[in-house]
Amino acid sequence: METNLPPPLPVVPTVLLLEDNEAYRTLIAEVMTQAGFDVIAVPDGRRVAAILRERPVDLVISDLVMPERDGIETMTELHYTHPQLPVIAISGDMPMNRDLYLRLAEKLGASRVLAKPFKMEALICAAREALLDKRAGARP
């Protein structure tokens, strides 16, 4: 029997987390791991290309304001190199800047955007929705 169902989600989806705040990065990684995700956590976007060459990643969660290589620069690169890879953009900069960065991330194709501080349940829900959208072939 043939079906038109999209392929199943990975048993354990791999998330690449880019967050410069070590405490927040650790918290998000722990919460996402407990929610059933395999998390690769790094402090900025410098190693993204190398990580994506080394192993498959199902979702990127990226802070937008980081030293070295920020989330906007990383998202711009991913838009061209991995256009089907869903990205959740998070930002907690000053409110006016934060909103500007989040709008820019949406224009760059972010699957979801979250303003810090957010509830961890909202991040888990956004991650699951982004993966389901990818599975269904949806584009934001």
| Angstrom distance (rounded) from CA 108 to CA 67 | 20
How many domains in the chain?
1
Residue 55 belongs to some domain of the structure: yes
Report pLDDT digits (tens) over 10-63.
579 999 999 999 999 999 999 999 999 999 999 999 999 999 999 999 999 999
Query: How many residues can be counted in the chain?
Result: 140
- Domain region containing 52: 14-136
> Which CATH number do you get for residue 122?
3.40.50.2300
Taking a C-beta distance cutoff of 8 angstroms, is the pair 60, 16 a contact?
A: yes
Report pLDDT digits (tens) over 92-131.
877 778 889 999 999 999 999 999 999 999 999 999 999 9
